Structure 1
Amino acid sequence: MHKRLKLGMVGGGQGAFIGAVHRIAARIDDEFELVAGALSSKPDNAKQSAAQLGIAPERAYTDFNEMAKAEAAREDGIDAVSIVTPNHMHFPVAKAFLEQGINVICDKPLTSALAEAVTLAEIGKNSKAEFVLTHNYSGYPMVREARHLVQSGALGKLRRVNVEYVQDWMSEAITDPDNKQAAWRSDPKQSGKGGAIADIGTHAMQLANFITTEAPEKLAADLTSFVEGRLVDDDAHMLMRYATGAKGYLWATQVAPGSENSLRIQIYGEKAGLSWAQENPNQLWYAPLNEPKRLLTRGGHGTSEWTQGQTRVPPGHPEGYLEGFATIYKEAADLIRNGRTKDCILPTLADGLLGMQFIDAAIRSSEHDAAWTPIEV
C-alpha cells in the first residue's frame, strides 16, 4: 500500500468541466489526495470552490504564484500540481511550479504559443521536477495494444496512418455567455492561434505518434473557420509525410453535425492493418493480410499480457474516458515515487513541444495555401 500523494490544482473551480475530470481520475486508483488549490482567477470563486472540495482555508489560494512558493516551503507541501486552466495559462503556471521543484501534471496542449513551449522545455530540463502531459487517449488499454502490435512487427513496415477527430458542438456561433468551454476555445487570446487544430487536432496527432512511435516530418494543411466571425479554425485537414516513407492523413473538426466525439485511427502496414474508435474503446480490429479480421477486446483472449495488466475490471465491463485519464495519473504517481525508467510511456514535455510544433506548422502551411511545411523537431 502506498501513502497517497498530495495533489494541488490550478483552475478547475465551480463552473469548470475538465477540473472535475482530473479530480475523479486522480482518485480512481487512490494514488492522490487533493489538498491545495488556486481554483479560479476570481478570489471569491477560488475560496468557495476550495471549501466545496474540502480544501483547508489556509491552502485555498487566490494566486498560483503564491501557491507555488507556499507549497514548496511547507514540510507537507504538495507532491504535484494539476493544471486545468485555459491554454494561455499553462505556461506561467507550469513555469512557477517547475521552478519551485514541484511536479507538474498539465492538460494539453502544452502552451498557447510555440515560443512559450520552447522556453518551458528548457525550464523543465533545469528542474528537478517531473512533467506529465495528460493526453488521456494514450491511457486506453486497446490503444496500448495497438502500440504493442506495431512495435512487435505485426504490421510490418508502415504505409498509411489515417486519424480523425470529429465533433459538432461548435457548429454555430457562440451566443450563450455561460458557455465558458466554447468561449475560451474560440478566443485566440486564451486558446492561442489554433482552434480545432489545437484543441482536438493535437489529440489526434499524439494518438498517431503514440501508436506508431513515429512522428511525421512535414505536412500540408488546410485550416478553415466555417462559422462566420470565428477568429480561430474550426476545421482542419492535412496530408502528412514520414521519414520512413509512410503517408498520413489527419482531419480535426468541431463543426460536423451528428458527430459527438468521434476519434478514430486506422494504420496499415505491409503485413496487417489496425482500426480503433474512441466511441467504442474496448475493441480493436486487427486484420492480417490474407486472413480474416480479428476483433480484439480489452482483457479478452489474444491480447498481450502487457495490455491485460492495464485493465481494471473484467472483460465485457466497459472502460473509457475517465479510466484513460486515471491511467495517466496512476503512472504519474509511479513516476513521482520511483523516477523515470526506460519503460515509461507517459506524454512528456518533449511530446508537448512536438504538439506545439505541429500546430505551428499546420497554421503556417495553411497560410501559404497548404504548402508542404516541415514540423521542426
Structure 2
Amino acid sequence: MMLNGEKKIERPLRWAMVGGGRLSQVGYKHRTGALRDNTAFQLVAGAFDIDPARGKEFGINLGVASDRCYEDYETMFEEEAKREDGIEAVSIATPNGTHYDITKAALEAGLHVICEKPLFFTTEEGLEIKALAEEKGKIVGVTYGFSGNQMLLQMRAMIEKGDIGEIRMVELQYTHGFNATDEADKYSDAQKWRVDPKIAGPSFVLGDLSTHTYYMSQLILPNMKIKKLLCDRQSFISSRAPLEDNAYVLMHYENGAVGRLWTSSVNAGCMDGHRIRIVGSKASLEWWDSKPGELSYEIQGQPAQTLIRAMPYLDETCHADERLGALHVEGLSDAWANIYLKFAIAMDAKNRGDQETLDNLVYPDIDAGIEGIRWIEHCVRSADQGAVWVDFKYEQETQFI
C-alpha cells in the first residue's frame, strides 16, 4: 500500500532547524523532506543563520513567527523549553565542526535530533552522544538522504532471499566534477568550510560524499562487515591538502567478498556519478542515482532485466515507501521525505516506549552515524600511513591520526 499522507503518528512533532538558512546548500532538502508529510513535522522555530537579522528575515519568510526566529541555538533551546508548545525535535544543518556541540546541547535540552553527515569527528564522540541519547530517551538520526530511495530496499530484499547468490563484489561510486578547479574554494562560503580541516574535519570527499554511499551499502548488505581496508587519497587541487578531493578505498569483507569505492569532486564533466553494483555468484544488481526508480538485474546466462519502481513484482518493503505510483518519476526530495517520515515514527515510538517499532524500522540512526565516522577514521589512518591495509575495528574506539 503506497503512502498517501495519512498520519503515521498521533500528531506532528514540533520541529526546529539550526542552520539551513538562505545561503545553505542543504536547508531546503531538510524542509522538503520534513514537511512533505505534514502529519510528521511542523516547522515552528529556528536559528537559521549565523547572521541573526538575515536568519530572522528568512524564518519569517518561511512562515515562522518572528519571536521564534532566534539569534543562536543556545537561546532557542532555552526559550523554547519555557513554552508549553516548545519544540520537540531539531535538525542540525550546519558545518561539520559544529555538529557535536549542537547535538549534545539539544539532547540535554530534551530534544530529538536529526543531524547532517558526517555526524562528528571521532568515534569516541559518537559513542558519547549515543550514551547521552539513551540516557535522555531520545532519537538521533542522520540525514543520509539518498538512502530513502526505495529501490535500495528492493536490493536488500532480493539479496536476503538469495536471488543473486553469495556476495562476491561490492562496487561503490559517488563522484562529480564541480570542484575540478579551485574557483568555488575561493568564492563559495558553502565550499570554503568543506576544505578547511578545522571545520570539515580530517576529510573532504570521504566525509562529504562517500559516507552516503557507504551507509547505503550497509542498508543493502546489513550482515556484511569489513575485515580490513586500504585507502589512497589525493589532493589534486594542492591548496586543499591535507584534505582529499579524490580517493579510492579497497575493502575486504569478513565473508570473503571484496569491495571498491571511488569518491571524487574532481571527476571533470561528471554530473552524476553515484552508483552501487552488487555482484553475486548467480547475478548482479546495479542502481544509479540518475535513474533512482530503476534497478538493473542481470542473471548470468539470461537477458538483462530492468526492475521499475512501483510495479507489483517488487518486494513489499519497497512498496511501503511508494508515494506517486508507476509512471510518475520520484527523486531525491521523495527520498528525503521517506527518511524524515521514519525519523518521526522513530521519535514517536521512543516517546511511547515502543521498542518493537524501533527494532523493525530501517532508517539512518545514531549507529549508522557512528559507523560512518568509524569508516572515515580507518580510511584516513590507512591513507596517512601511505595507503596501507588496516584492520577494521568495530568495537575499539579509534582516533584520527
The answer to whether TM tops 0.5 is yes
Q: 1:168–1:258: 8 Å Cα contact kept in structure 2?
A: yes
Who is 2:226 aligned against?
A: 216
Are residues 1:26 and 2:34 paired? yes
**2:343 partner amino acid:** A
Distance 1:347 1:198 in 2: 15
Who is 2:69 aligned against?
A: 60
Q: 1:137–1:143: 8 Å Cα contact kept in structure 2?
A: no
Distance apart, 1:163 and its partner CA: 0.3
Who is 1:143 aligned against?
A: 152
- Out of 327, 337, 346, the residue aligned to residue 338 of structure 2 is 327
**1:19 partner amino acid:** G
Deviations 1:269-301 (A, max 9, x none): 122210000011100011233332221010024
Structure 1: which 5+ runs fail to align? none
Distance apart, 1:116 and its partner CA: 2.7
After alignment, is 86-95 or 108-117 more displaced? Answer: 108-117
Q: 2:167–2:257: 8 Å Cα contact kept in structure 1?
A: yes
Q: 1:6–1:78: 8 Å Cα contact kept in structure 2?
A: yes
- Out of 324, 327, 330, the residue aligned to residue 313 of structure 1 is 324
**1:350 partner amino acid:** D
Classify the secondary structure of the residue corresponding to 1:67.
Answer: helix
Q: Aligned pairs, how many?
A: 377
- Out of 277, 280, 300, the residue aligned to residue 288 of structure 2 is 277
Distance apart, 1:146 and its partner CA: 0.7
How does the TM-score come out when normalised to structure 1? 0.96
Q: 2:205–2:264: 8 Å Cα contact kept in structure 1?
A: yes
Deviations 1:158-204 (A, max 9, x none): 11101000111111113575412211111111111100111001112
Are residues 1:240 and 2:251 paired? yes
After alignment, is 278-287 or 332-341 more displaced? Answer: 332-341
- Out of 41, 44, 50, the residue aligned to residue 59 of structure 2 is 50
Distance 1:242 1:308 in 2: 30
How does the TM-score come out when normalised to structure 2? 0.90
Distance 2:391 2:337 in 1: 34
Distance apart, 1:22 and its partner CA: 0.6
Distance apart, 1:317 and its partner CA: 1.1
- Out of 112, 121, 143, the residue aligned to residue 134 of structure 1 is 143
Distance 2:339 2:32 in 1: 12
Who is 2:399 aligned against?
A: none
Classify the secondary structure of the residue corresponding to 2:226.
Answer: coil
Q: 2:14–2:44: 8 Å Cα contact kept in structure 1?
A: yes
**1:370 partner amino acid:** A
Distance 1:244 1:222 in 2: 23
- Out of 3, 12, 34, the residue aligned to residue 11 of structure 2 is 3
Q: 1:112–1:190: 8 Å Cα contact kept in structure 2?
A: no
Classify the secondary structure of the residue corresponding to 2:94.
Answer: coil
Distance 1:176 1:268 in 2: 38
Distance apart, 1:309 and its partner CA: 2.7
**CA RMSD of the aligned region, Å?**
1.6
Structure 2: which 5+ runs fail to align? 1-6, 351-356, 395-401
Classify the secondary structure of the residue corresponding to 2:91.
Answer: strand
Aligned pairs for 1:150-189 (under 5 A) are 150-174=159-183, 178-189=187-198
- Out of 221, 239, 245, the residue aligned to residue 229 of structure 1 is 239
- Out of 336, 345, 349, the residue aligned to residue 366 of structure 2 is 349
Deviations 1:186-226 (A, max 9, x none): 11111111001110011121111111112323210001100
Distance apart, 1:341 and its partner CA: 2.5
**1:137 partner amino acid:** F
